[in-house]
Structure 1
Amino acid sequence: MLAVPDDLPLVVEPLQILPYLQAPNLIVVDLCSALRYQQGHLPGARWLDPKRTQRGTPPAPGLAPELLQLSQLFGELGHHQDAVYLVYDDEGGGWAGRFIWLLDLIGHKRMHYLNGGLPAWLDEGLPLSQELPAAHVRRAALTLCDAPSADCNYIKSRLHAEDLVIWDARSAAEYHSGHIPTAVHFEWTAGMDRERSLRIRVDISERLGALGITEDKQVITHCQTHHRSGFTYLLARSLNFPRIKAYPGSWAEWGSRADTPIES
């Protein structure tokens, strides 16, 4: 069995990762619906209910799960320090990108996103499986780091900093009904190429650059609950932005507080 090369990029193509699906340290995570997973998934993939990647409690349901829940979640996936993750969904990368953020949150280093997810895999005519991998019943020993995240108070303290870009990934209607001051709008699906099975647009760097979303800035991305902005976080990571953060509280938190300024 071939080992996953160390030099594979964060975003991989289906044919690029295919030879390594049987690698012993590869953990493939499917974040599609339960029905879609049952109908067929990448060989060896383990299903994870996307909702388990969120805390789910108001007023900020997009916060990361508590450490105990994360330990349970990663334990079920068979997490270990030498694991290489391959993550995908069937919506273009929202849930998969959020899982990439969780991996950053626990300080894990080796991870890949299947470009375009399940639609791209199917477009290449590659095989699916209905076999279920053996279950793991244990908890993983994890520690959390703050680097991938920004909270409400941090954003308020840096709102008008010249080196900060707040990236709002919601719809135009949501953005214009109220947004964080200075936020730049680029709706999450605008980064996907529908002619190429939801792969990341090849001109994404130029599109973001035209909006001032560039690698020299600290970029903080959000949506309503840090689901859609999972993809925009992934986009910035794929472009090697060194100071990308997600705001997991997102608009659900910001828009509900009395002490947060709002523009429309």
Structure 2
Amino acid sequence: MNNIVSLKWLLARMYEPDIVIVDCRFLMGKPDAGRELYEASHIPGAVYMDLEKDLSAPVEEDGHGGRHPLPDIFDLTVALSRVGIGNESRVVAYDDQGGAMASRLWWLLKYLGHEQVYVLDEGFTAWVNAGFPVSSEQKVLIPAKFLAEVQHSMLAEMAEIQERLGDESLTLIDSREAPRYRGEVEPLDKVAGHIPGAINRFWKDGLSESGAWKDAASQADRFADLDRERELVVYCGSGVTATPNVIALQEAGFTKVRLYAGSWSDWISYEENPIAKGDEESPSKA
């Protein structure tokens, strides 16, 4: 599957009328930084969508739904329409965070039934370093009509995971860095550890040393020990950095891939949920 497009691909098509370029830059802990970066300089014609204001719902007091709950479908549809994304648009999302924020928009659009959405390889800094054009001018927004066809099969709910712990037909993939997965450190959430039975595949291992996405064969190598017939559920801390792993798994040819959107921060909001620490072995192929 082709979910990633190159800098040169976008350069050649950036002014085509059905292309909508979305700047998704966002810095955790600095909620205004992404928009400020966008206002200073962005790919010409790009619109801005904010991780927390546009691509997430407000955090619940009890923590249910996690640190970045999925946005309300109606609210998200309105936000997409407002920036000019319609059902016929080809959407290219970029960030400067290894593709994590752009992948969140990619996943949400796929979840709403929109197929023509891509993540820009390498990101904004690479675009600048290539000498490609930038602008501080903000595009005049012309709303578009966006009708959602929600793909519920892309989503895994907490209750199902709770019920299927230990189920050999389901593989949980934790996308966080290994020390967080093992429960040795936890800089963001109240409890350290991982969901029992989950294996660890750090999402940034899907990128090369230069920050480019690895090709399909290399992504397949990352997941070579996994059974393609098993259901896969991917999670991270709050449902954002799991989405690059969803893309990587699709690029590698896996078809039974779902996202646990609330992720670890949702899981630990239920006191009865068990917690594991240390490493876990990958499930052997059937």
The unaligned stretches of length 5 or more in structure 1 are 1-7
**CA 1:137–1:23 in structure 2 vs 1: closer, same or farther (change >3 Å)?**
closer
Cα drift, residue 137 of structure 1: 5.2
Deviation string for 1:38-61 (max 9, x for gaps)? 222112111111212111313123
Deviation string for 1:3-33 (max 9, x for gaps)? xxxxx92111111232111111111111011
Which whole-Å CA distance do the structure 1 matches of 2:144 and 2:129 have between them?
36
TM-score (norm 2): 0.82
Matched, 1:72 2:78: yes
Q: Which of these residues, 225, 231, 234, is aligned with residue 218 of structure 1?
A: 231
Question: Which residue is 2:98 aligned to?
Answer: 92
Cα drift, residue 200 of structure 1: 1.4
2:55 is matched by which residue type in structure 1? Answer: T
Q: Which of these residues, 52, 55, 58, is aligned with residue 56 of structure 1?
A: 58
2:101 is matched by which residue type in structure 1? Answer: W
Cα drift, residue 139 of structure 1: 7.1
Matched, 1:113 2:105: no
Which whole-Å CA distance do the structure 2 matches of 1:258 and 1:219 have between them?
24
User: 1:225-264, aligned counterparts within 5 Å?
Assistant: 225-264=238-277
SS in 2 for 1:38: helix
Which whole-Å CA distance do the structure 2 matches of 1:40 and 1:213 have between them?
42
Is the contact made by 2:21 and 2:93 (CA closer than 8 Å) also made in structure 1? yes
**CA 1:163–1:125 in structure 2 vs 1: closer, same or farther (change >3 Å)?**
farther
Cα drift, residue 249 of structure 1: 1.0
**CA 1:103–1:240 in structure 2 vs 1: closer, same or farther (change >3 Å)?**
farther
Is the contact made by 1:12 and 1:112 (CA closer than 8 Å) also made in structure 2? yes
- Matched residues, number: 253
Question: Which residue is 1:5 aligned to?
Answer: none
**CA 1:125–1:239 in structure 2 vs 1: closer, same or farther (change >3 Å)?**
farther
Tell me the C-alpha RMSD between the 2 structures.
2.0
TM-score (norm 1): 0.88
The unaligned stretches of length 5 or more in structure 2 are 26-33, 184-192, 278-286
Question: Which residue is 2:134 aligned to?
Answer: 128
**CA 1:189–1:249 in structure 2 vs 1: closer, same or farther (change >3 Å)?**
same
Is the contact made by 1:30 and 1:37 (CA closer than 8 Å) also made in structure 2? yes
Which protein is richer in helix relative to its size?
1
Question: Which residue is 1:47 aligned to?
Answer: 48
Is the contact made by 1:217 and 1:243 (CA closer than 8 Å) also made in structure 2? yes
Regions of 4+ moved over 6 Å: none
Which whole-Å CA distance do the structure 2 matches of 1:240 and 1:132 have between them?
38
Q: Sequence identity, in percent?
A: 25
Is the contact made by 2:172 and 2:199 (CA closer than 8 Å) also made in structure 1? yes
**CA 1:140–1:130 in structure 2 vs 1: closer, same or farther (change >3 Å)?**
same
Is the contact made by 1:62 and 1:250 (CA closer than 8 Å) also made in structure 2? no
2:195 is matched by which residue type in structure 1? Answer: I
Cα drift, residue 108 of structure 1: 0.6
SS in 1 for 2:154: coil
Which whole-Å CA distance do the structure 2 matches of 1:119 and 1:233 have between them?
24
Which whole-Å CA distance do the structure 1 matches of 2:15 and 2:98 have between them?
24
Which is further off, 226-235 or 85-94? Answer: 226-235
Is the contact made by 1:72 and 1:138 (CA closer than 8 Å) also made in structure 2? no
Cα drift, residue 263 of structure 1: 1.4
Cα drift, residue 186 of structure 1: 1.6
Question: Which residue is 1:101 aligned to?
Answer: 107
Which whole-Å CA distance do the structure 2 matches of 1:170 and 1:90 have between them?
18
Which whole-Å CA distance do the structure 2 matches of 1:81 and 1:217 have between them?
32
Which is further off, 133-142 or 45-54? Answer: 133-142
User: 1:166-185, aligned counterparts within 5 Å?
Assistant: 166-177=172-183, 178-185=193-200
Which whole-Å CA distance do the structure 2 matches of 1:191 and 1:9 have between them?
15
Matched, 1:19 2:34: no
Deviation string for 1:156-183 (max 9, x for gaps)? 2333333322110112222112211111
Question: Which residue is 1:144 aligned to?
Answer: 150
Which whole-Å CA distance do the structure 2 matches of 1:159 and 1:11 have between them?
33
2:201 is matched by which residue type in structure 1? Answer: F
Which is further off, 61-70 or 23-32? Answer: 61-70
Cα drift, residue 226 of structure 1: 0.8
